[in-house]
Amino acid sequence: MDEKTLARELFKTTKTVDLFVDVALDLDREKAPSGFHYDRDLLKAAMANTYVETVGDKADSLHLAIKAVDVEDVYGSYLRSLKIVGSRINLNEREVVLAFDYTDEDFYGEIGGRWIHGWTGENAVTGKFKFLTCAMVGYENKEKIPLLTIPVEMGGFMARDVLFCLSLLKPLVKSVKLLLFDRGFYSKELLWALSSANYPYLMFVPKKENVKEELEKMEKDQKLKLRHAFEFTDSNGEKKEGETTLALLKRIVDPSNGKKFDWCFATNVDDVDLENIIQTYKQRWGIETGFRVQDEATIKSKSTEIKIRFFYFVYEQLLQTLWNVLYKRDMSFKSFVIELYEASNAKVRKAEKKAG
């Protein structure tokens, strides 16, 4: 991308980010302060991995604006932005593979309320803000593209949250080809809910006693599929029955490191390919890489308010999505954030100079 093209693209990208802030916070674009003004401070804080309070004078009004809206307004605005950016990769024509994961942010201080999950106190961390993220995996260079994040409250229901995310994403894609989950998502209620909603899934299974017993019976390099019926009591107290397929693999080589492991997956895909099941599942490993990338643009906060913490998280995620889709081939993520800040800063300074 040549210098003139880059400048033009960055200017358009600043407008996309401005619009996200305006819609998320229900701001009037014709009145100050709006996303046009807030973005300069937000991008500077993201660039320096610091607090908005330390880089400008708009933190108080920004926080008041965030507190005045609902969490739904924030992820609703993100989905609107995603639809715009997704048009660049024909997202609505894609059969997507989606990976779910949880991530969290450290909290220091006295915990309370329904959004701060208790923690051990190690390294002075007393709690965690927890987020459920859904990303498209298997895109260019096996990088993840964040599609949606929602905050997770104490005592939340995993199956409800996952299906809620899918209901929001379904209109943005052609179809869902496969859902990938790690062992932390393994629950009978989620397996039942996904099958009931006709979503194909592949889930890593914890090696509990029944799984260990089956693996012990198998020979080295053996691959086996077993039907597994289960019962559970759902979150409403109703007893339900379901079934899944357990795919067991004994002492199979992990192509990435040459080591042999025992594997167990749960799936509702009848024709699951046991020969390539490990490689299929490992597409989701890119989601952890994505979290590390996003950490390079962390906007720090000491707030106990979930709306503020969530807004910052989604803002950072939007930056990562824009970089993945539009700029990854030309520059690093950190360089992109710096360039975007410079473009936003120049735009605001020009407007301020013109105003007098």
DSSP 160-210: HHHHHHHHHHGGGSSEEEEEEE-GGG--HHHHHHHHHTT--EEEE----HH
Rounded to two decimals, the pTM is 0.90
Tell me, what's the pLDDT at 143? 62
What's the one-letter identity of residue 151? Answer: P
C-alpha dist (Å) from residue 244 to 192, 225, 231 = 8, 10, 11
Give the Cα-Cα-Cα angle 256, 139, 300 (nearest 5 degrees): 90
pLDDT tens-place string over residues 193-225:
999 999 999 999 998 888 888 888 888 888 999
- 3-class DSSP assignment, residue 44: helix
Asked whether the predicted pLDDT for residue 308 surpasses 60, the reply is yes
Asked whether the predicted pLDDT for residue 14 surpasses 80, the reply is yes
Nearest of 60, 81, 64 to residue 314 by alpha carbon: 81
Could you give the CA distance from residue 209 to residue 197 in angstroms, rounded to a whole number? 29
pLDDT band at 3 (very low <50, low <70, confident <90, very high): confident
Q: List, in order, residues 6 or more apart from 1 with CB less than 8 Å away.
A: 9, 327, 329, 330
Could you give the CA distance from residue 153 to residue 274 in angstroms, rounded to a whole number? 37
> Using omega within 30 degrees of 0 as the cis cutoff, is the peptide bond preceding 33 cis?
yes
> Using omega within 30 degrees of 0 as the cis cutoff, is the peptide bond preceding 151 cis?
no
Beta carbons of 239 and 231 less than 8 angstroms apart: yes
Q: Which token pair is 311? A: 């807004």
More reliable by pLDDT, 290 or 94: 94
Residue labelled with tokens 């937000």:
42
Could you give the CA distance from residue 193 to residue 198 in angstroms, rounded to a whole number? 9
User: How many separate domains does the chain show?
Assistant: 1
230 has which bridge partners?
242
pLDDT tens-place string over residues 114-161:
898 989 888 889 999 999 999 998 755 456 788 999 999 988 789 999
Asked whether the predicted pLDDT for residue 293 surpasses 80, the reply is no
Backbone angles phi, psi at 67, to 5 degrees: -65, -25
pLDDT tens-place string over residues 20-61:
999 999 999 888 889 999 999 999 999 999 999 999 999 999
What is the extent of the structural domain holding 153?
A: 3-355
Nearest of 33, 8, 10, 11 to residue 22 by alpha carbon: 33
What's the one-letter identity of residue 230? Answer: F
What angle do helix axes 3-24 and 306-322 make, rounded to 10 degrees? 150
- To which H or E segment does residue 129 belong? strand 127-137
Could you give the CA distance from residue 343 to residue 347 in angstroms, rounded to a whole number? 6
DSSP state of 300: B
Q: List, in order, residues 6 or more apart from 329 with CB less than 8 Å away.
A: 1
- The mean predicted confidence, pLDDT, of the chain is 90
